[in-house]
Structure 1
Amino acid sequence: MWTELTWRHCSLAGLVECVWLFDGMLGRRRERHYPTGELDLIVQLDAPFRIVEGQPAAACPPASLSGLIVAPLVIETPAARSRVLGVRLRPAGALALFGVPQHELTGATLDLQDLIGSESRRLAERLDEAGSDEARLLLLARWIAGRLAEHPSTDPRVAYAVSEIERAGGKVSIADLLTRIGTSPKRFTGLFEEQVGVKPKLFARIVRFRGLAAALRAGAGSFSQLALAHGYYDQSHMNADFREFAGMSPGRFLAATSYPESTTLAD
């Protein structure tokens, strides 16, 4: 049994997808993550999760930031009850919160203390001491909102490109997008990677895959129909993205158990 709470606010749209809390135990301890174009700030109040595939095997720090992932990542949850809070961040939100080049975070899990020093420990202590799950959730949400105004925002050209890629579900010509922006491809690609974490073409592929995965879960069509609807040449082209990003075939992905309010799968 578990409790799961989620908080969203329209004022943080484009920066924060949601703030969430989990309190309980999972029946299956291995959890598979796949690229979604978002980052995760995690605070664990009990025994730590362990990374077992996709990055060097290790216990996750009590408070951590996982950069954009570009390949599957598998974690193992504790055997006992665990209390975990998280913030699912858009790249612009991560940049505003921490003010560090996003490509330095890509494919890595960093100790939050390395980013914000002793404030990380104080945040974890305040969350642990809060009187209820709802109080913890609101405390973390307020902490996030308070920090967002303190650091630089995304370059308007990068923000426009991200918005257009998201609006098109990843099905966009990057060359056409650069023409509209009117900037040097090489210079813009470097700026985009610094502020988003990956190059524009890879970000568009990840956004497309995220939409495809959601449509597949929703039963929106056959494999071949969904491949064409999401801009793939054919089903084999789509299958290649499933192998790269999820580490499995579309059929196995569809059969896997998904967790409520999450894009992750029981592994």
Structure 2
Amino acid sequence: MSVVSWREESELGTWTQLVWRPSPLAGLVESISLFEGKLRRRRERYYPTGELDLIVQFDASSEPYRIVEGQPAAPFPPLSLAGLIVAPVVVEAPVATSRVLGVRLRPAGAFSLFGVPLRALTGNTLDLHDVIGSEARRLGERLEEAGTDEARLRLMGRWIADRLAGRPRTDPCVAYAVSEIERAGGRVPIADILGRLGASPKRFTRLFEEQVGVKPKLFSRIVRFRELAGALRAGADSLRHTALAHGYYDQSHMNAEFREFAGMSPGQFLAATPFPESLSLAD
């Protein structure tokens, strides 16, 4: 088990974080992480990335994380499942020190893990008890009782692997389409993929939305925007050249995507402070 650990002390706050990317779950689970610390910049802005999140808050009864923008304002349940987002969401952290375990799930992993149509989760954050019943309580208790944080990561990895065993996987046509969209950075025409598959557009779109959470064209846009945001954060060339390189008609087209997905202009995005090892921004 190769766990990456680091400590952050900056204007954003002070915390330690463990991150594990289990290779046996590659393609299904992006990462399993554990955060412990306190944020000074308590509001965190998330934009669509094409992934889902399973979140476990320890000691959440005292002060939970809260959604404050982008979805109905509400506290996160102690164990929650956040579906794909298609618009920016702002989350506010507790004032006090907090401990949170998070699992970043690819759509294929979430579909197999929970066995529910992912379109029902899109744009929503649900109590995990409403998705898997009493198993959520047992999982929470086992995580609380684990002796160390690394043990909690391992326990979560085993729980996911055990639950996935023998469960239905993503339809091969959907899995191929997702792979091609990801490979091309969201810049492959869906009609081309349908042509290769010989699939009925109506049936394929319905199946894709059920097993991924959004329709193919929107998923492609989200993947393209995620790639664009990553390139800009890495110090890409001019906005115009970056827009064209990522398949936008022009800079105005890119600006419109920024307003829809991030709730800000590209310039505001570049001026914002990113959280380290994260696709979120201090708000």
Establish whether TM, by shorter chain, passes 0.5. yes
Q: Distance in 2 between matches of 1:150 and 1:15?
A: 14
Q: Is the 8 A contact 1:29 1:78 kept in 2?
A: yes
1:168 aligns with 2:181: no
Percent identity reads: 76
Q: Which residue of 1 aligns with 2:146?
A: 130
Q: Distance in 2 between matches of 1:139 and 1:213?
A: 33
- Map of 1:165-244 to 2, 5 A cutoff? 165-244=181-260
1:71 aligns with 2:87: yes
Q: Distance in 2 between matches of 1:150 and 1:43?
A: 25
1:148 aligns with 2:164: yes
Superimposed CA distance per residue, residues 40-65 of structure 1 (whole angstroms, 9 cap, x where no aligned partner): 00000023111111111111100000
1:13 aligns with 2:29: no
1:187 deviates by 0.9
Q: Which residue of 1 aligns with 2:155?
A: 139
CA RMSD of superposed structures (Å): 0.9
Q: Which residue of 1 aligns with 2:132?
A: 116
Q: Is the 8 A contact 1:106 1:198 kept in 2?
A: yes
Contiguous gaps of at least 5 residues in structure 1: none
1:38 pairs, out of 51, 62, 76, with 51
Q: Is the 8 A contact 2:83 2:122 kept in 1?
A: yes
Q: Distance in 1 between matches of 2:259 and 2:167?
A: 37
Q: Distance in 2 between matches of 1:232 and 1:73?
A: 24
1:95 aligns with 2:111: yes
Q: Is the 8 A contact 2:36 2:98 kept in 1?
A: yes
For residue 207 of structure 2, give the secondary structure of its aligned residue in structure 1: helix
1:133 deviates by 1.5
1:9 deviates by 2.0
Q: Distance in 2 between matches of 1:10 and 1:141?
A: 10
Q: Is the 8 A contact 1:21 1:83 kept in 2?
A: yes
1:92 deviates by 0.3
1:98 deviates by 0.3
Q: Distance in 2 between matches of 1:133 and 1:9?
A: 15
1:103 deviates by 0.4
For residue 25 of structure 1, give the secondary structure of its aligned residue in structure 2: strand
Task: Provide the TM-score with structure 1 as the length reference.
Answer: 0.98
Report the count of equivalent residues: 267
Q: Distance in 2 between matches of 1:185 and 1:162?
A: 15
Q: List 4+ stretches of structure 1 deviating above 2 A.
A: none
Amino acid at match of 1:136: R
Amino acid at match of 2:244: L
Superimposed CA distance per residue, residues 216-242 of structure 1 (whole angstroms, 9 cap, x where no aligned partner): 000021111110110001111001000
Task: Provide the TM-score with structure 2 as the length reference.
Answer: 0.93
